[in-house]
Each structure stands twice: as structure tokens, then as C-alpha cells.
Amino acid sequence: MICTVTLNPAYDKTVTVKDLITHEVNVILDVRFDPGGKGINVSRVVKELGSQTKALGIIGGDTGLFLKNFLEGRGIVTDFVHVDQPTRTNLTIIDIDNPPDTKLNEPGPVIEESVLLKVEKTILDALNESKFFVFAGSLPVGCPDNTYCRMIDLVRQRGAIAIVDTRDGALRESIKSLPYMIKPNACEASALLGREVITPEEACVAAKEFYKMGIKIAVISLGGDGAVMACDDGVFLGTPPKVKVESTVGSGDSLVAGICTGIESGLPLPDAFRLGLAAGTATATTPGTSLCKKDTVELIIGRVQVKKISE
């Protein structure tokens, strides 16, 4: 089982309009609601790919109840800590005539130390059935940058694997606890290392640097150009096929989910990397906040190229 920890999930509302005009009344052509948050997305894709998952984290109010019911209705086990403040709502506006999308994200509830202690209790309980923990997404208001460090240390001390996908100060601090795997994008890797990481060659050097720090798997995503992975087996460049991109929302989360699913099922790391790239690419072909479907992943995976580019 793969557990995910989402401390700042979201209730995602996506509306579609045609030729958005600011300061005027606009007619909504379509609306959809989805559970949001990077860890939530990872659990959804893990389940879609056929593995078991449990979603941990913090929810509140009717929007949080929507997340819980949505996930459990699709066979995903949950063990959320409930707070009084509602889970934040994120609004995405898709203008079919004027891409890219416009996003309006709420900050979310303020989380106190007592709530984090309850989350850590759910992690300890989950250690009885899982050795894979994905800590993903932004930190809630009120949480220090080293919040994930505590949780990474908690699972590492008990022989479990910690995967981190976050950004900014939370990512910088998390690396100090040496998680098993990280997945910054090129921009995030640039900020961490203090230099530009744009090309696959630069990403290769950067991934090696993270690996030498003690991170067993360092994946740097390069958008439509794929990703680079440094691990015990060497450094690999993964290149997905060209597809019609509808939305990149959730593609990075799907990449993480595919890699984790592959590792848990015993695939060699290059093959787990290939599965992750296929899942990320499949998600990019779906609109708005939709995520990949297993049959699309299976159609794409044979067209993903994974090449060893360095020891």
C-alpha cells in the first residue's frame, strides 16, 4: 500500500467559458468539481493504476467532506484529521478562446501544532500496513518550512520510504532529512541549486548532485520534454511521445504516482520511471483537473523512451 499525506488539500472547481471578458457577466459553459491537492492526486492515480492506497492529511467543513466521500467512493481508504475550518476552494477558469487557464487559489485554514501531532499519529498507525509515504503539496498557513522533515524522520526511523513533492522552503528543508525520492521541476531545481536548470544536460548534472547528497532517487521534470532520473542504476532521460495537451494540472503528481506504483510492484527503476512518464503524459491529455485513465497509460507506455545517459 502507498500512503499519501496532503496537509493542504483543496476542493477544485473548474469552470469553462468562451471569450472571458473581465468586469462583465460571463456565461459558464461547463463546471466540474474534483478533490485537489498533490497527495490526493497521487492516491487517485495509484488507485487507477491498480495499487492500494490510503490518503492521510487534514480536511475540514463540507468541502473536506466532499474530498473524503469522493475518495472513499472510489475505493481509496482515508484517515484524515478533521479541523473546524473548511478545506480551501481553488477555482480554475478555462477560457476556450484564450489559453492558458486562470487560477484563483485560497490559502487554506491555519493549522496548529496540535493538529500536526494528530496527523503524525495517523502516519504511525499507517506504518503497520505501508512502507511507502508520499508527502506532497504546499504547507498550510501556520506550518513552518520544516514540517515535512518531522514526518520524513518519523517514517525513516521505522524503515519506511519517504517521497517528497513540494516546493520553496518546504522542499529546501525536506531535502535535509534525505527522503528516498524527490521530484522538483526544472524551475524548483534551479532555485535549490542557485543556477539555471533548463536543458536535459543541466538536469542530469543537477539530479546527480541531489543523488550524491544521499537522496536515492532524484527526478527532475522537464515538462513536455520529459524528465531525468538519477538513482543507483545511473542517470536516465525519459522522453514521452508528443500528445495533444489539454491541461498539465496533475501531470507531475501522476509522474510521482506511476514511479511509486512501479517501485512498490517490484519493477526495475527504469521501468518504474517509464510508467510514471506514461501516467504524467496521459494526464496531460485530459481537460482541467482531470487525471489519467489506466487504458490511456497502457496505450502510451510503449511509446515512452527511457535512455541511460550517465553512470
- CB atoms under 10 Å from CB of 82, counted, come to 14
What is the DSSP code (8-state) at residue 178? -
Beta strands 30-36 and 102-105 are unpaired
- Reply yes or no: is the peptide bond before residue 200 cis, omega within 30 of 0: no
- CB atoms under 10 Å from CB of 164, counted, come to 27
Q: Choose, from 12, 34, 165, 253, the residue flagged as catalytic.
A: 253
DSSP letters spanning 98-164: S-S-EEEE----B--HHHHHHHHHHHHHHTTT-SEEEEESPPPBT--TTHHHHHHHHHHTTT-EEEE
CA distance 217 to 24: 49
165 a catalytic residue: no
Identity of the amino acid at 115: V
Helix or strand (DSSP H, E) at 187:
helix 186-193
Q: Which residues of 119-138 are buried (b: 16+ CB within 10 A; e: fewer)?
A: bbebbeebbeebebbbbbbb
- Terminal Cα distance for the chain, rounded: 31
Which active-site residues does the annotation give? 253
